[in-house]
Amino acid sequence: MTVAVFFGCAFIAFGPALALFIFTIARDPLRVIILIAGAFFWLLSLLLSSLVWFIAVKASRQEEATAQKGLLIFGVMFSVVLQEVFRFAYYRLLRKANEGLAAISEENLSPISIRQMAYVAGLGFGIMSGAFSMINILSDSLGPGTVGIFGDSQYYFITSAFMTLAMTLLHTFWGVVFFDSCERNRWWAVAVVLSLHLLVSGLVSPSPSHRSRAVRTHNTCADKRP
Amino acid sequence: MGPQAASLVLLTLFFACNGVNSSSVQQKIYVELKNTFPCVRLLNATHQIGCQSSISGDTGILHVLETESDLNWVLSSGPNPPYLVLMDAQYFNRSTMMRFRDSMRVAGVVLVIPKSSPPQGFSPHNSCPNQGTGVYSKNYGPELADCNTTVWNPLGDGLSYEDFNFPIFSLHEDNDTDIIRKCYQDHNVGVNNSAPQYPLCAMQLFSHMHAVKDTVTCMRRTDIQSRFSISPEIVCDALTDYNVWASIRPLNNTAKGHLNGEKLVVAATRLDSRSFFWDEAPGAESGVAGFVTLLATVQALRAVTETAPTPNNILFVFFQGEAFDYIGSSRMVYDMKNGKFVIDLDNIHSLIEIGQVALRRDSKLWLHSDPVSRKNSSIESEVKKLVSNMQHAGAGLRFSLDEPGVTQPLPPSSFQRFLREGVIPGVVLADHQSAFNNRYYESLYDNAEYLNVTYPPNLSPEEQLEFVTNTAKDVAEVATLVARSLYIQAGGEKANLPSINADPKMVTQMLYGFLVQPNNSWFRALVAPDVVQKLGPRPLQYYIGVHDKSDPIKTSTRIIQYILANFTGTVTNLSQSQCQHPENLPGESKDLYSYLWVQGPVAPNSTQGEGYCIRAPVRLSRAVSPAFELQDYGSKDYSTWAESRWKRINARIFLVASRDLEMLTLGVGVGVLLVSLLVTYFINAKADVLFSSSREPSSTAY
């Protein structure tokens, strides 16, 4: 809409993440590294899932709306599963790293605990997921127009911003719960996280915003493939 | 290796993945309008005219202008200025546009071009066209200057020559206008005459022009850029194209200057037209009728000049850019004066110019001449002889030919530029006795329909090409008149006159191609293969335009060149490569003729014609105002018209939200940010109080 909406939505979507980053992560370089690596892992999972979706779309070669919609739902679910798989992979990596950090420290104690790493990793996943959802919408919110000429709601930007905020915080919580239940081998808790993630993605998927976002994220990463 | 490289890869991937596709949200917001015709900025020695938008476009709330109360809404009572006005043709006049210009509440205007022309007439051109660059001034016929005796274009309100600081676009009635009207009806019409609620439908127009003030300024800036910048930003271009000329007997193109012992009769007409909007100039009565008549004249003279040639040569000239202070004719006269053309002004025996000829009233045609030069007795006798020759030639045709009978200046015509340099006997043939019969002079509505070039609805395009309209018959008669007159003027025998007839079939084919559909089988067979691709679905427009490196000669000029070649030339059996380089072939002379490769008729089951080489005494001569050659950009004697350059011209519609909602969003955002900063700070500071020591033995404090 204008610069006011741009800043408003940016603050809504990334304000809490920024606050968490400033006060809990920025001081400790190790946490910063774990955050960024977590974001990278999320990005990898999205890359892989978009590759699969891209192949599926090319293989189906159909222009029907229902087939495309079915493929999209499949794509979203596969993406969610892959994100959780990569979260698990990151957990294994961090555990290995933890042993290494303990070995090189002076007191044979790792300077960071698994719980803290879980929180930071979750936040990394959340920030990247939020950025991917929100940046396109933010850049379009700078122009003079707002959504609505084809009948969509004019509160599209604000709702997207709040959704991004929710997903960021959810990813953080899921990170903590996931790592903790992996530590204690409580696999039912892992299944709960996975099913909650699927539920949230499924709830927002039918909305045109998420569908466009999902297609867009899949398209952007798939098109940039060499 | 490790986290630094990982973060670098991450960032590159992020930016790489993100930069590509931001269009799906944009598609929800904006509807781009295609097929818009903007009004652009033109500059001359002292003024700028036309329209301009700001560099990031002009946005306004859409309002459809249908009644007087709408006008009040836009100008004073509407609560959400600025407005972008969508209007029909009835409000597109000087008074309304001046009120918009003076108001601060108008962001732009979009004109919806109706299917039928306004019945009261409309001409955005001046009422006295080309006032300062004709022959009449305070030194030459001062009582005739400045339209003191006759106002040639009484319906002209001069709208094309005003300067607007908001963009003005035009649209045809099609799907896009339906979308615009629907958006307006859904969002901008208040219930029960109250103010409409947000979100409102708005439109944004982009037509930022780079040149300002006048040609002197913009050429100076262009010169500075070209000299000192690595990638120069050119801000304006001179209006330029080519004149087309041909002669019955070929003239040696390398022998410039005075041609000893030759006296030629010159037949002239104009090629171009203009309107308020850029590149929209159907120019039916003001341009097309004239040059189609002259083309038919050339064809009519062909047979007789081969069997019974005239003592004097005849030169046919088609001038380009006459709507803009006589660009083409001033350049040709300048070249003649300075010995850069194949003939001299002294070589001209007499001149017949074809003005606007297709709208005769009461079957009368008029011969205009210059009263000031006729005060000279020898010129007077020559003109009298010319008039009587023409009247003799017109005997037996279905109209009467007369002089206007009052002391009246010449209408705006290329002949005036010749008279500026010396007295030449000549007349201008027109269908109007005093003021123009053309009620849509230099406007969008001067089209095929106005000339009654219409076809019965059930004809296929090929049948339409062959169908002889009444207008074609009338124009063919005028061409017959001109052909016979030229034959007599050039010294031909009056006994041969009945054999000189213009062919109505040829005329109707030309009128169809130039006014309705250029992509027809006759044009395709006549022109070069690379011109065939440019014969678009849209009718040809006759605005002169600027020099474009990829397209140096206008398509319409090239079509006329090829038709003229067909009418005056002979088919040779040279191959395509020989056609391009005929210098060393025996019997061929590039000095006397030009050699053109044309596509030829296309067989029904193939896409390309056979192609053959035509040798014709047809040439192009550059039509750039002498002011640009002399670099005298502030010249008062020559045309100084230039067109500004621009980067982006488009239009789009979308909804805008209220200012309150935007501020609310910003407020909520700032609130969320502050709250989260505060909460995080406090929780972090009191973490050891809030969270008891962990159960993990290896954990450390936060």
**Single pTM value for the model:** 0.87
**A-contacting residues in B 52-111 (Cβ below 8 Å):** 57, 59
CA atoms within 13 A on the CB side of B64: 18
Q: Which of A5, A109, A137 sits opposite B25 (nearest CB)?
A: A137
Q: Helix, strand, or coil here: A184? A: coil
- pLDDT higher for A84 or B588? A84
Tell me how far apart the alpha carbons of residues A44 and A39 are, in angstroms, rounded to a whole number.
Answer: 9
Structure tokens at B191: 């219930």
Structure tokens at B600: 């030829």
Tell me how far apart the alpha carbons of residues A116 and B165 are, in angstroms, rounded to a whole number.
Answer: 61
A220/B668 CB distance under 8 A:
no
Mean pLDDT for the stretch of residues B344-370: 93
| Whether the Cβ atoms of residue B543 and residue B280 lie closer than 8 Å to each other | yes
Q: Which residues of B95-118 are buried (b: 16+ CB within 10 A; e: fewer)?
A: ebbeebeeeebbbbbbbbbeeebb
Confidence check: pLDDT of A214 > 70: no
Which residue of chain A comes nearest to B699, CA vs CA? A113
How crowded is residue B401: how many other Cβ atoms within 10 Å of its Cβ? 19
Give the closest residue to B450 by CA, choosing from B442, B459, B461, B458: B442
Q: What angle do CA B141, B145, B146 make, to 5 degrees?
A: 175
Taking only the tens place, the pLDDT of each residue in B490-509 is 998 889 899 999 999 999 99
- Partners of residue A137 in chain B, C-beta under 8 Å: 25
| Whether the Cβ atoms of residue B57 and residue B107 lie closer than 8 Å to each other | no
**Max intra-chain CA distance, chain B:** 126
Tell me how far apart the alpha carbons of residues B22 and A141 are, in angstroms, rounded to a whole number.
Answer: 11
CA torsion through residues A108, A109, A111, A114, sign:
positive
Tell me how far apart the alpha carbons of residues A133 and A210 are, in angstroms, rounded to a whole number.
Answer: 9
Own/partner long-range contacts of B582-587 (Cβ < 8 Å, ≥24 apart)? B582/B615
Q: Does the N-terminal peptide bond of residue B82 adopt cis geometry, omega within 30 degrees of 0? A: yes
Tell me if chain A has a CB within 8 Å of the CB of B14.
yes
Tell me how far apart the alpha carbons of residues B239 and B281 are, in angstroms, rounded to a whole number.
Answer: 15
Tell me if chain A has a CB within 8 Å of the CB of B661.
yes
Give the percent of chain A with pLDDT over 70.
88
Tell me if chain A has a CB within 8 Å of the CB of B679.
yes
Tell me how far apart the alpha carbons of residues A122 and B201 are, in angstroms, rounded to a whole number.
Answer: 42
Query: What one-character-per-residue DSSP string does A117-171 give?
Result: HHHHHHHHHHHHHHHHHHHHHHHHHTSS-BS-TTS--TTHHHHHHHHHHHHHHHH
Which residue do the tokens 């300024």 mark?
Answer: B217
Query: What one-character-per-residue DSSP string does A197-218 give?
Result: HHHHHHHHTTSHHHHHHHHHHH
- Partners of residue A105 in chain B, C-beta under 8 Å: none
Mean pLDDT for the stretch of residues B80-89: 91
CA atoms within 13 A on the CB side of B101: 16
Give the closest residue to B271 by CA, choosing from B299, B241, B291: B291
Mean pLDDT for the stretch of residues B595-615: 85
Q: Which residues of A131-160 are buried (b: 16+ CB within 10 A; e: fewer)?
A: bbbbbbbbebbebbbbbbbeebebbbbbeb
Which residue do the tokens 């104690």 mark?
Answer: A109
Confidence check: pLDDT of B16 > 80: no
Instruction: Give the pLDDT confidence score for residue A1 in this predicted structure.
Output: 63
B657/A109 CB distance under 8 A:
no
How crowded is residue B392: how many other Cβ atoms within 10 Å of its Cβ? 15
Distance, in angstroms, between A23 CA and closest chain B CA? Answer: 6
Instruction: Give the pLDDT confidence score for residue B600 in this predicted structure.
Output: 86
Please state, rounded to an integer, the average pLDDT across all residues of chain B: 90
Tell me how far apart the alpha carbons of residues B363 and B78 are, in angstroms, rounded to a whole number.
Answer: 53
Taking only the tens place, the pLDDT of each residue in B405-447 is 899 999 999 999 999 999 999 999 999 999 999 999 999 999 9
CA torsion through residues B475, B481, B487, B493, sign:
positive
Band the pLDDT of A206: cuts 50, 70, 90.
low
Adjacent-strand bridge partners of B269: B318
Least confident of B21-25, B391-395, B401-405, B628-632: B21-25
Give the percent of chain B with pLDDT over 70.
95
Mean pLDDT for the stretch of residues B477-488: 95
Name, in order, each residue with C-beta under 8 angstroms of B221's C-beta and a sequence gap of 6 or more: B211, B235
- Partners of residue B6 in chain A, C-beta under 8 Å: 36-37, 40
Q: Which of B13, B29, B676 sits opposite A15 (nearest CB)?
A: B676
Instruction: Give the pLDDT confidence score for residue B325 in this predicted structure.
Output: 94
Tell me how far apart the alpha carbons of residues B277 and B279 are, in angstroms, rounded to a whole number.
Answer: 6
Tell me how far apart the alpha carbons of residues B213 and B640 are, in angstroms, rounded to a whole number.
Answer: 13
Structure tokens at A218: 């899949």
What are the residue ranges spanned by the domains of chain A? 1-223
The amino acid present at B554, given as its one-letter code, is K
Tell me how far apart the alpha carbons of residues A38 and A91 are, in angstroms, rounded to a whole number.
Answer: 10
CA atoms within 13 A on the CB side of B700: 9
B10/A43 CB distance under 8 A:
yes
Band the pLDDT of A66: cuts 50, 70, 90.
confident
A113/B699 CB distance under 8 A:
yes
Confidence check: pLDDT of B111 > 70: yes
To test the contact with chain B by mutation, choose from A2, A3, A6, A11 the residue with the greatest count of B C-beta atoms within 10 A, namely: A11
To test the contact with chain A by mutation, choose from B11, B56, B673, B674 the residue with the greatest count of A C-beta atoms within 10 A, namely: B673
Mean pLDDT for the stretch of residues B515-535: 91
Instruction: Give the pLDDT confidence score for residue B60 in this predicted structure.
Output: 95
Band the pLDDT of B476: cuts 50, 70, 90.
very high
Which residue do the tokens 């919806």 mark?
Answer: B112
How crowded is residue B701: how many other Cβ atoms within 10 Å of its Cβ? 9
CA B430 to chain centre: 23
B699/A5 CB distance under 8 A:
no
Structure tokens at A121: 């990793």
Distance, in angstroms, between A197 CA and closest chain B CA? Answer: 23
The burial class, CB within 10 Å (0-12 / 13-18 / 19+), for B400 is middle
Instruction: Give the pLDDT confidence score for residue B583 in this predicted structure.
Output: 83
Tell me if chain A has a CB within 8 Å of the CB of B693.
no
Band the pLDDT of B17: cuts 50, 70, 90.
very low
Task: Give the A:B interface size as CB pairs under 8 Å.
Answer: 187
Q: Does the N-terminal peptide bond of residue B199 adopt cis geometry, omega within 30 degrees of 0? A: yes
Confidence check: pLDDT of B195 > 60: yes
**Max intra-chain CA distance, chain A:** 64
Tell me if chain A has a CB within 8 Å of the CB of B21.
yes
